Chains A and B, each alone.
Chain A
């Protein structure tokens, strides 16, 4: 009986304002056409038949379908609305009960709305009636994928990452695309149910102001690479605690990337590389591209690792003390160097493996990502045990609007 409740559908109809807006814009277009055509009806002017008018109508119908898809997700998914999620957390709601404000999953009202748009497209706009359906489906599925990312439902996200890029491969176009779409729907549905079961999600509404991760990732597929100042993660709120209070915090801000996460993401990026190369009619020379990618990725990793940190003493200190290599600090350069070397050698290897260059480029990409994500030391270990010094914001160019010295 509870299962049946999942498919409740009250309050799913599009809001009156949205319907009125669409009717007004569409009506204005039709009224304008009528005003222009009416005086010239006798001479046989038919603007309606022109491709420009058909395209405008299709655009309006498509926009209506996109807006409706976004409305469905925005209005009913707690991940969008922090106040709703906070209220839901305090309510007796459980994942086996329907969401109080209405369902996120598709219901018969959606078929009515999209059917109406398709009918308008078919019999009034003389446009392809599948356009509203395709746009609604694509935006709805893409939005759901984004919401799964937002709610950190990693395994379905990973699967969707593979599925979304599959149609790029020419061999998978046509009838196989239907199978891919079916896969997208099934995985999205599974992910959605999984994300509801995992509620409350660990986001801003679920955490206190200084809730900082203390342990390794719970999920083997959980990825946590935090770049201070670039996101809304707790670590990104570093300036909110000042210097050096968070640097010396008894709670580790950074988590390690699990090996299974590294493997999964490496496989995903390799798959994307393969899809991209297979989708191109004339694949480019991979060697320089892989080298440039490896170089940029290595420098990015170095920038993330060394953000806010400095060596214990500078280059002159190394020369003067005869300690050219400081193992405790220089360990941070090892993985980036290996990445650059692998990028160079891998690029050359791809060039000579001509019949298999797509697969070999994907393999090199997988190796590069695995090294980047899993190469030692982990960010957490480096921050906590590396032989470096935490630099004062005075020398880091910190935004003085946010953080000021005494």
Chain B
């Protein structure tokens, strides 16, 4: 269970989040959506422990983040975070890096080696496993970063824009299936930020829509449909919630007499 309690944050004088409250129950996959610059990455960074909020706090399975050394380490053992722009060590091979990440989580080395091989196969990186990361393309680096999160076997995953960053269609498909599998597990909690509503729709149990520093809506897709009165797909519901005038603007643009 992830609890975000009255979190506010600002960089300088610009507010990014104000009085955000969110609960992600164990066993659910929750997607955070919203326009650019609305604070999705900041919210995920705060939950992941990358930064302390200006106000409010985050609880993971009843433990408050940064409240004590023991609590913080216990939270970290249960969580893995994929930032939107991870930095990977250029001189290490992909397999070495994944091993190092796995060892941080005290995973059994035999099991870790096997898991890494399966992950590299899944994301078509088996041929690159022994190559230094500097030889990887951007898409391959993104795949490796995703493998780095999955290899931890952490029960709570925080993923910031997992479907972007140059992933090829096969990798998006593979990741989608992995996420679907994770979403079906009762012991896994996944919180992800994504702009790709088509990918989110079949995966997310609940969707949080951020707008203007606050959570505008947080519900299941069905709940969001009821709230907006829109029976369409998630992109349409999202459009209706965040940019209600966009559809009319498009209509008006194409229906001008001169167009």
Contacts of A246 in B (CB 8 A): 104
Which of A190-198, A237-245, A265-273, A368-376 lines the interface with chain B? A237-245
0/1 per residue, B174-214, Cβ < 8 Å to A? 00000000000000000000000000000000000000000
Chain B residues lying within 8 Å of A401, measured Cβ to Cβ, are 90
Is B11 part of the contact surface with A, judged by Cβ < 8 Å?
Answer: yes
Measured CA separation A323–B72 after assembly (Å): 25
Cβ–Cβ contact B50 & A390, under 8 A? yes
| Known contacts A405-B86, A406-B85, A406-B145; A314 and B12 CB within 8 A of each other | yes
> A-facing mask of B99-143, CB < 8 A → 1, else 0?
111011110000000000000000000000000011000100110
Q: Report how far A386 CA is from B11 CA in the complex, Å.
A: 17
Task: Tell me the minimal C-beta distance from A369 to chain B in angstroms.
Answer: 24
A74 contacts the other chain (CB 8 A) = no
Instruction: Give complex CA distance A244, B44 in Å.
Output: 13
Other-chain residue from A208, A323, A394, A402 in contact with B90 (beta carbon distance below 8 A):
A402
Once the chains are docked, how many angstroms separate the CA of A242 from the CA of B232?
Answer: 42
Select A247's contact among B50, B53, B141, B145, beta carbons within 8 Å. Answer: B50
- Are B13 and A317 in touch, CB under 8 angstroms? yes
Interface residue from A210, A212, A243, A387 paired with B87 (Cβ < 8 Å): A243
A241 touches B89 (CB 8 A): yes
B85/A392 in contact, CB under 8 A: yes
- Give chain B interface residues in 78-100, CB to chain A under 8 Å: 79, 81, 83, 85-92, 96-97, 99-100
Give Cα A208–Cα B77 distance, bound, in whole angstroms.
19
Q: Known contacts being A210-B104, A248-B50, is A384 close to B69, with CB within 8 Å? A: yes
The answer to whether A321 and B54 touch across the interface, beta carbons within 8 angstroms, is: yes
Distance of A42 Cα from B227 Cα, bound (Å): 119
Whether A53 is near chain B, meaning CB under 8 Å from some CB there, is: no
> Digit string of A38-76 for contact with B (CB within 8 Å is 1, else 0)?
000000000000000000000000000000000000000
Residue of A nearest to B138 (CB): A406
Q: Are B54 and A406 in contact, CB atoms less than 8 angstroms apart? A: no
From 38 to 91 in chain B, residues with beta carbon under 8 angstroms from any chain A beta carbon are 45, 48-54, 66-69, 72-73, 76-77, 79, 81, 83, 85-91
**A230 contacts chain B at the CB level, 8 A cutoff:** no
Instruction: Report yes or no: B69 in contact with A380, Cβ–Cβ below 8 A.
Output: yes
Does B225 make an interface contact (CB < 8 A)?
no
Query: Is B148's CB within 8 Å of the partner chain A?
Result: yes
Residues B97 and A242 in contact, CB atoms below 8 Å apart? yes
Which residue of A has the minimal Cβ distance to B134? A404
Q: A243-B86, A244-B86, A389-B51 are in contact. Are A406 and B69 (CB under 8 A)?
A: no
- State how many angstroms separate the Cβ of A176 from the closest Cβ of chain B: 48
| Distance, CA A124 to CA B113, complexed state (A) | 66
B10 contacts the other chain (Cβ, under 8 Å)?
yes
The answer to whether A389 and B52 touch across the interface, beta carbons within 8 angstroms, is yes
Contact (Cβ within 8 A) A313 B101: no
B13 to chain A, nearest CB (A): 4
When chains A and B are docked, how far (Å) is the Cα of A403 from the Cα of B85?
12
**A312 CB to closest chain B CB, in angstroms?**
5
Q: Is residue B165 within 8 Å, beta carbon to beta carbon, of the partner chain?
A: yes
B52: A residues at CB distance < 8 A? 312, 328, 386-389
CB contact under 8 A between A312 and B13, given known A245-B86, A249-B76, A385-B72:
no
**Which residues from chain B contact A209 at a C-beta distance below 8 Å?**
96, 99-100, 103
Q: How far is the CA of A9 from the CA of B25 in the complex (A)?
A: 69
Give the residues in chain B near A240, CB-CB below 8 Å.
Answer: 89, 91-92, 97, 100
Residues A239 and B89 in contact in the complex (CB < 8 Å), given A313-B54, A384-B69, A387-B52 = yes
Query: Looking at A209, A240, A242, A252, which has the most chain B CB atoms within 10 Å of its CB?
Result: A242
Interface size class of A (residues with CB under 8 A): 35 or more
Q: Which residues does chain A contribute within 8 Å of B51, judged by CB atoms?
A: 312, 388-390
Whether B12 contacts A404 by the Cβ 8 Å rule is: no
- The reply to whether B73 and A245 form a contact with Cβ atoms under 8 Å apart is no
| A390 CA to B51 CA, complexed, in Å | 6
Q: Is there an interface contact between B66 and A317, defined as CB atoms closer than 8 Å?
A: no
> In whole angstroms, what is the CA distance A389 to B48 when docked?
11
Min distance, Cβ B67 to any Cβ of chain A, angstroms: 7
Determine if A17 is an interface residue (Cβ-Cβ < 8 Å).
Answer: no
**Which residue in chain A gives the minimum CB-CB distance to B144?**
A406
Q: Write out, one digit per residue, whether chain A residues 294-321 have a CB within 8 A of any chain B CB (1) or not (0).
A: 0000000000000000001110110011
Contact status A406-B88, CB under 8 Å: yes
Would you give the shortest CB distance from A275 to chain B, in whole angstroms?
A: 38
Contact B76 A248 (CB under 8 A): yes
A250 at the B interface (CB under 8 A): yes
Bound-complex Cα distance A392 to B51 (A): 11
Q: Evaluate contact between B49 and A210: CB separation under 8 angstroms.
A: no
Residues of A within 8 A of B (CB): 208-212, 239-252, 312-314, 316-317, 320-321, 323, 328, 380-381, 384-390, 392-394, 398, 401-406
List 28 A-B pairs, Cβ < 8 Å.
A209-B96, A209-B100, A209-B103, A241-B89, A243-B86, A244-B48, A245-B86, A248-B50, A248-B81, A312-B52, A312-B54, A313-B9, A313-B11, A317-B13, A321-B54, A328-B52, A385-B67, A385-B68, A390-B51, A392-B85, A402-B91, A403-B88, A403-B89, A404-B90, A404-B133, A405-B85, A406-B85, A406-B165
Q: What 10 A-B pairs come out closest when comparing CB atoms?
A: A389-B51, A250-B76, A243-B87, A250-B77, A387-B52, A210-B103, A210-B100, A320-B13, A406-B141, A384-B72
